[in-house]
Structure 1
Amino acid sequence: MDTRQLRYFVAVCEFRNLSHAADHCNTAASALSHHIASLEAELETKLFTRKPRGMEPTAAGLKLLTHAQFILSALENAASEIKHGQAEISGSIAIGMPFSVIKVIGGRLMRKVIEDLPRVRLLIREGLSGVTYNALRSGEIETALIFNPPSDSRTLRTPLLEEELFCIGHQDIVGVADEAIRLQEMAALPVALLQSGTLSRALVDRPAELAKLESQARIQLASIAGTLSALKEGLACTLAPKVLVSDELASGELIARPVTDPRPVRTLHLVSALDARPTFVREMISSLVVELVRDAVREGLWEGARSIEV
């Protein structure tokens, strides 16, 4: 039994005539007769009484008609909901991302939601990647943009971009702008680093080098605002992306030096829990975020970043 047979069966019940039903279904009367016979054989019961001027449903036929109409109606409703439901996307979603990412795409994301998705309520939760990852795993947020998320079979991860990190600070601390500095040399400078636990050690190919830098840091913070204050006060330099201090770099208040041996690069991923129930809202917002991230790189708004196409 399939949906085509059910549609043919319902048509014969409605028209009580094989030829009229065949015309309605845009098929040959012989084909319609064949499908009805197959349906009767499968159900092992007679569905119609054949009469000289038409076909009359039997008691079994009338019972099947009730079920068939319900089934076909349910299928039509499901198809309509899937096909047109995205035009009426509604609901709430919480997404987590670091400050630097919000700085680049946060405004555009909010504008898109306000203008194009009036029935969606968006919560953007700012946090360091480690904190954001824990919030995702605990279900506090539904999807997240995370740098170097840990390997975890419980999550689905899509890499979006690679971002280079620089030695950033006042010139009297870090030296000549744009001149490369080795990571080992940076460790000898006054350094303030964001405290992000094991995730930070994924920033470089040689984690021991970064661990040494962390051990030399006089100041460790769990605050973007605190880090920016340390830089602007001329207290320390830090290892960070240019986009974090783009305005200060443009004004000359701070300078950035590329770091070598090794070159620190981190990867931004779109992360969601594998066991999370799919929703139109999450799919739409995730797609929009990916588009905005790649647009920002292409338009030069994300200096030091390279898109990853998958």
Structure 2
Amino acid sequence: MNWRVRAAGLADLDALFGFATMTGGGFTNLPPDRDTLAAKLERSEAAFARPESPPEDELYLLALEEVATGEVVGTAQIFSRVGVRWPFYSYRLATLTQTSQQLRRTFRAEMLNLVTDFEGATEVGGLFLHPEKRRDGVGRLLARSRYLFIAMHRRRFGEEVMAELRGRLDEKGSSPFWEGLGEKFFGMSFQEADSFNALHGNQFIADLMPKHPIYTALLSDDARAAIGQVHDSGKPALAMLEEEGFRYDGYIDIFDGGPAVSIRTEQLRTVREARKATLGGVMPPGSGVPAIVASGRGNMFNATFADIDAQGDSVLIDAAGRSALSLDAGEEVTYALR
């Protein structure tokens, strides 16, 4: 099969709603609410259509489709700049070391500090691939297309890119971390808090969450064990983020304790390796090297996997890749090797 990533639009609402019903909870960026998803798609269409300018508070929503049928099988999102409409909260793990000369003992206490350190960063998230299509590296195409889009529209994004991963949930779909901490201050279940955040934002965190450090020793064993742990379904996504160079530096999600990873934008592997070239023609079958190739700007953006043969400022592309991107000779493409 041949796959293509493109800008999403309102016509993709049914597909996105279907994905939202499959996530199993804790997937804030893809809530199972048609009105909210429609608003996100409208916001995304406006973002793709805007002129090139510094980031404000845009959302870019991508769709992955099978080229021959047009069936949408996955989606991913880019938030140009977080912390604009309301603070972007995280917990940061820190250690306080204290020594008693009388007792001749040293104590190291681990604490959670509520911070807004990612304010102004670009966030990548909302990546979901239909369970039946999780093969042949299709998820990697969906993930890396975001970084090619950033490389091709660099002015629209921040100097840092971050991602939050869904944290550990129990067999009932509840979060041990939330039950051990957040529930004590908000009086609502994880599902209720997660749903409210997805629909209305997390300003209620600023209203009710204590601002002083939380000593992790006061949390339950289950809550402590969940800190910085990724949900089983998110492990492939974490592996792809690490391949791009993302690092975990002790930041965790305020709801489920999942890890937040980050990297300087210019250090992203795909951004560093992205090259522009002019399409020279179709490459003979069986030659070239595998790459991810993109063309078009704004809402005309498309990306696909293809075999290429780069020759200076010109590049040859295989027939399937050229067809997926609807390219003509002489058009500009941006590519990075797989």
TM-score past 0.5 threshold: no
Quick check: which one's helix share is greater?
A: 1
Please state which structure has a larger fraction of its residues in strand: 2
- Give the structure-1-normalised TM-score: 0.25
Of structures 1 and 2, the one with the larger relative CO (CA 8 A, separation 6+) is 1
Q: Give the TM-score taking structure 2 as reference length.
A: 0.23
